[in-house]
Amino acid sequence: MKPEHTHVPVLPPNSHLGSDCRGVAAVLARVGDKWTVLVIMLLGDGPRRFNELKRMVGGISQRMLTLTLRGLERDGLVTRTVFPTVPPRVDYELTDLGRGLSHSVMALGQWAKQHLTDIETARQNFDVRNSTD
């Protein structure tokens, strides 16, 4: 099994030039990522430590969580606070901008949870209709 999604997209420096669609697409690439959605949902309840997030987000590697958090911090959605303890304690928390996003992300997550069975049924029906035996 090969790792997936190991590259965190970086917003192009001039993404707002030429076309609004490119700028919007670049932002959606960040906020629409499955790991980003899960992390934003979890941080909606307040600050969390790295290892706490890793435990709560099933299946995410340490590297992918690091990349996700770094990208969110770069985009101004998350703050990282290091406490001078031994070992160092690092907390991640949504910024005001991130909290604004979390409302939409929570609604999307709730919708996905409510309709999971419907989507699975639709997928199965599609696969049966389109199977080539």
pLDDT for residue 73 is more than 90: yes
* Domains of the chain, start order: 20-129 (1.10.10.10)
* Residues 130, 85 contacting (CB under 8 angstroms): no
Provide mean pLDDT across the span 89-110.
91
Q: For residues 133 and 130, what is the distance between their CA atoms, to the nearest angstrom?
A: 9
State residue 5's pLDDT score: 55
What one-character-per-residue DSSP string does 78-130 give? EEEEEE--SS-EEEEEE-HHHHHHHHHHHHHHHHHHHTHHHHHHHHHHHHHHT
Partner residues linked to 49 by β-bridges = 91
Six token digits for residue 110:
């709730």
- Evaluate if pTM is beyond 0.85: no
* Per-residue model confidence as pLDDT tens digits over 8-21: 556 555 545 556 78
